[in-house]
Amino acid sequence: MPSVTYYHDSARYHDQARCANGMTYAANARRGLFCASNRWPLGTRLELTSRGGRRVVVTVADRIGHGSDCDLSEPAARALMGSRYRIIGRVHTRIHVLHLERRGHRK
């Protein structure tokens, strides 16, 4: 089962940091729930469902450098993992692709 994590509160992810889609972290956060992933093209919309039945829809807006399938923004992590998301850190989820963005896809 795929695993998801959340963006840590490090300096790399401050509000003015640029994501791979060219927007700042803060600008992406204003547009809605988002994640970083190397598995799907930028702009792809994913529905994530935890084992406990919590669901969240996110848009791929950035790339990651580790083995997780998705790295969630803080609001998306809170929605999927609940108030203990910082303690939990990683959850296994079902990932359903709602919209696969084809533009700019890199293989």
Per DSSP, 19 falls in state P
Q: What are the pLDDT tens digits along the chain (107 aa)?
A: 888 988 765 545 566 778 889 888 888 778 889 999 999 999 999 999 999 999 999 999 999 877 788 999 888 998 999 888 888 888 999 999 999 988 654 54
Does residue 92 lie in a domain region? Answer: yes
CATH of the domain at 74: 2.40.40.10
Tally of structural domains, the chain: 1
Residues 57-75: tens digit of each pLDDT: 999 999 987 778 899 988 8
Does residue 104 lie in a domain region? Answer: no
Does residue 105 lie in a domain region? Answer: no
Q: What is the pTM assigned to this prediction?
A: 0.85
Residue 20 burial (10 A CB sphere; 0-12, 13-18, 19+): middle
